[in-house]
Chain A
Amino acid sequence: DVKVTQSSRYLVKRTGEKVFLECVQDMDHENMFWYRQDPGLGLRLIYFSYDVKMKEKGDIPEGYSVSREKKERFSLILESASTNQTSMYLCASSGLGGQHWTGELFFGEGSRLTVL
């Protein structure tokens, strides 16, 4: 079974702190994604990556950056956390590689971030 692991299930940070959310997948998938999920707004795509060291902006990239140094790991970085970044963050991966992702999407368990 595909496993997507998010390192932290719950985090509490203070405004202005730098926050790292880590995601690792074990199925050699080329494509990885970061979403945030908020009540009433659904899932919104922050960033995605279809290869090592490659990244593409999603719908709401402002205030976020990402890093993909290894194929299995995709990190989301909040350079200076703000209260409006309090949310559930979901990482996902899919195979059938390259730039055109047609495969099934697999999600991690999510990271609930609270910014005070």
Chain B
Amino acid sequence: KQEVTQIPAALSVPEGENLVLNCSFTDSAIYNLQWFRQDPGKGLTSLLLIQSSQREQTSGRLNASLDKSSGRSTLYIAASQPGDSATYLCAVYTQGGSEKLVFGKGTKLTVNP
């Protein structure tokens, strides 16, 4: 059974810092991995989708990498801003009978001015 872990659960950094959020998964047989952002009381906003054949994806100040063999993905945020404060979740779409997305519980990021 696929398990997705995000450590740390919470992270606080000063504005301007570059930071890395981590996502690990136990079953490397995945179709893709997706990173989301969630603001308090809101739905999830898709940030980046990495297919299993890809190593990384970039969007603006965000860069996501995928290492399937080690079961890890990282989300790199450059030059962090207070507006980046949110909870970041990763989800993997696993091959096999269950065929569904498995979510991590997220990392709550606070960027202090």
State yes or no: do A and B come from one complex. yes
List residues of chain A with CB under 8 Å of any chain B CB. 4, 6, 40, 42-43, 45, 48, 58, 88, 90, 92, 99-102, 104-110, 112
Is A45's CB under 8 angstroms from B41's CB? no
- In the complex, whether B112 has a CB less than 8 A from a CB of chain A is no
A68 to chain B, nearest CB (A): 17
Is A48's CB under 8 angstroms from B103's CB? no
Q: How far, in angstroms, from A88 to B42 measured CA to CA in the complex? A: 9
* Contact pick for B43, options A40, A101, A107, CB 8 Å: A107
Interface band, chain B: 20 to 34
* Contact pick for B104, options A42, A102, A107, A109, CB 8 Å: A42
Contact A108:B43 (CB < 8 A) given known A42-B104, A100-B99: yes
Q: How far, in angstroms, from A92 to B38 measured CA to CA in the complex? A: 14
- In the complex, whether B32 has a CB less than 8 A from a CB of chain A is yes
Q: How far, in angstroms, from A112 to B41 measured CA to CA in the complex? A: 8
What total of A-B pairs shows CB separation below 8 Å?
Answer: 45
Contact A90:B100 (CB < 8 A) given known A102-B93, A105-B91: no
Question: Can you list 10 pairs linking A and B with CB atoms under 8 Å apart?
Answer: A43-B89, A92-B44, A102-B31, A105-B46, A107-B43, A107-B44, A107-B45, A107-B46, A110-B43, A112-B41
Q: How far, in angstroms, from A100 to B105 measured CA to CA in the complex? A: 24
* Contact pick for B42, options A92, A100, A105, A110, CB 8 Å: A110
Nearest residue (CB) in B for A4 is B43
Q: Which of B1-51 contact A (CB under 8 A)?
A: 31-32, 34, 36, 41-46, 49, 51
